[in-house]
Amino acid sequence: MDCGVDRGTTAAAVAADEAREIERRYRTLVEQLPLVVYVDALDEGSSNIFTSGQIEPLLGYTVEEWRDDPNLFVRTLHPDDRDRVLAAHARTHRTHEPLRLEYRLVARDGRVVWVRDDGVIVLDDAGEPLYLQGYLLDITAERELQEQLRLQALFDPLTGLANRAFFHEQLEHAVAMRTEDGAGTAVVFVDLNEFKQINDQHGHSVGDEVLAALGGRLKSVIRAGDSVARLGGDEFAVLLTAVREPAEAAIVAERLLEQITAPIDVAGRHLSLTASVGIALGSSGTELLKQADAAMYRAKLHGDVDYAFYDDDLDQTALNRFKRIAELREAIVEKEFSLAYQPVVNLDPFEVVGLEALLRWQHPTLGEIPPLDFIPLAEESGLIVQIGRWVLLEACFYASRLRELLGRDLEIAVNVSARQLQHPEFVDHVDNALERADLPPHLLTLELTESVLVASGERAEQQLNALKDRGVKLALDDFGTGYASLTYLQRLPVDIVKIDRSFTAKIDSGAADLALLEGIVGLGKALGLQLVAEGIERDAQQGIVQGLGCHGAQGFHFGRPAAAAAATQALSGDTVESSVG
């Protein structure tokens, strides 16, 4: 009996020793594998039961941290992969299908580690699921190699831009994705003129640096959703995925040319480039690049133009546009611009309190060009920044002279475009004009339309707040014509609201128009703003806006825009018309 007990005890001990030896060998084997072996619970976060020691050199976390922190796995998942991985784990838990996927984990030191995760559900003898067992294999080097090969296949190594093959792929995709929304696809083909001379004179290394710098410039000016590629040599192409009218493509071409022609400093050399640009619009990816290439050669043959359209009619329009932009540049040099001034009056008591400066262009052969025929073009081409800087300076000088002549303060209002507001030195332009003219900041009002604010973005708010801190006044022009006017009144430090003429035109003949104006005036009063009614042309209109509580008014009733001499004479002689006073 005792012997039997001894034999049983000995057998149990032997079995235990064998189990420990099997476990030791298993652990030794697992720890020698070039991967992480894991056992996870079948819960929502796949909390850990066992993880092999390889986890620490892989991710920087100890086995104990991995086991004791049930949320560690979820936290280490890359944010872009987290939902996908958790969904895959949940599917495996639910269906008992094998787990196989690749994803990224973020190590303790911030490294991103790509892993291949293979796992299976282990079942008990009754077929019930026990746990998930699997391994993590580090595939970071493999993934990096794949990415490197992908970049080599799709991108130009010198400029980092898409290469010809990738551009063709993007073009075909853009054409295929176009819907019946009225927008089309366009290709802008760019060929650098005489680039070979740079290589011949300065060497290919300098030429490569020029191309690399140029690639960065071109990439910086394309629109969101568009793409730019280096097709090879000194040829580039831009894909415009959504173009509603040819002028949009022309604007992009002009911005590209602006970047190309700006001097490039390379290896202590000051190098300049020119380019010929072709534009094609259409719906066939195969033909668009060929047509844009052909249009580029048309531009090169013209000699006196920088870009051309493939379509003859569009090309003539582009030629006219290019000619007008050239004339605008010439107008700046030849000082063909002038300012006209229209009075802004206070209604009670009645007096002229300011002037609005309005830009005029006296063309040498066509005479006076209407503002709507050249100001939008000046904005699109970027020339408005230079023109606007001159307007600021000229208007401030005139206001300063009037102040000295009349012996009283008189405000001057200047319209500001989106391109000016976006310019990083716009605040400096205003400061310079005020300082040179010796004009107190509170006598300058900058007028901005809602469309200008929408186009300018967040930078506008920073610029305007800086100017407001200096004492410059801000006016929201054409109030009520846009959908977001109230939003801007809440966000921006506006002093004056100029009520658009469309709300005052018929107030003396229609009850509905009057009711609408009453609502706008009431809103302005509630916000504590100074209200100026625009488009006042009759006594009755003046009486109504004054009765409603508008502080000021502007319109032909008080004076038409006039040159500086005539405006000065009118103010000196108190000849501004009014039915009051």
User: Are the beta carbons of 558 and 350 closer than 8 angstroms?
Assistant: no
What is the maximum span of the chain, computed from C-alpha positions, in angstroms?
A: 137
Task: Give the tens place of pLDDT for each residue, 57-94.
Answer: 999 999 899 888 888 999 999 999 999 999 999 999 99
Give the pLDDT of residue 81: 94
Residue 365 has pLDDT above 80, yes or no: yes
Backbone torsion region of residue 284, taken as left when φ is above 0, otherwise alpha when ψ lies between -120 and 50, otherwise beta: beta
Residue 350 has pLDDT above 60, yes or no: yes
Give the Cα separation of 488 and 347 in Å (integer).
26
Q: What is the DSSP string of 290-356?
A: HHHHHHHHHHHHHSS-SEEESSHHHHHHHHHHHHHHHHHHHHHHHT-EEEEEEEEEEETTEEEEEEE
- In Å, how far are 70, 74, 147, 515 from 77, measured between CA atoms? 13, 5, 20, 60
Amino acid at 309: F
Average pLDDT, the chain: 85
Closest CA to 568 of 432, 373, 431, 397: 397
Residue 16 has pLDDT above 80, yes or no: no
DSSP category for residue 523: H
Cis check: omega of the bond before 349, within 30 degrees of 0: yes
Give the pLDDT of residue 45: 67
Q: How far, rounded to the nearest angstrom, does the alpha carbon of residue 180 sit from its chain's CA centroid? A: 25
The C-alpha angle 374, 379, 384, rounded to 5 degrees, equals 90
Give the Cα separation of 416 and 370 in Å (integer).
18
Radius of gyration, alpha carbons of the chain: 36
Give the pLDDT of residue 574: 55
SS3 247: helix
How many Cβ atoms are within 10 Å of 3's Cβ, its own excluded? Answer: 7
Give the pLDDT of residue 286: 76
Residue 521 host element (H or E): helix 511-526
Greater pLDDT, 486 or 469: 469
Confidence of residue 265 (pLDDT cuts 50, 70, 90): confident
Give the Cα separation of 344 and 411 in Å (integer).
9
Give the pLDDT of residue 53: 87
What's this model's pTM, rounded to 2 decimal places? 0.56
Closest CA to 78 of 52, 50, 55, 111: 111
Question: 100-104, 335-339, 573-577: which range is least confident on average?
Answer: 573-577
Helix%, strand%, coil% for the chain, nearest 5: 50, 25, 25
Give the pLDDT of residue 353: 94
Question: 82-86, 183-187, 388-392, 448-452: which range is least confident on average?
Answer: 448-452
Residue 20 has pLDDT above 70, yes or no: no
Give the pLDDT of residue 307: 86
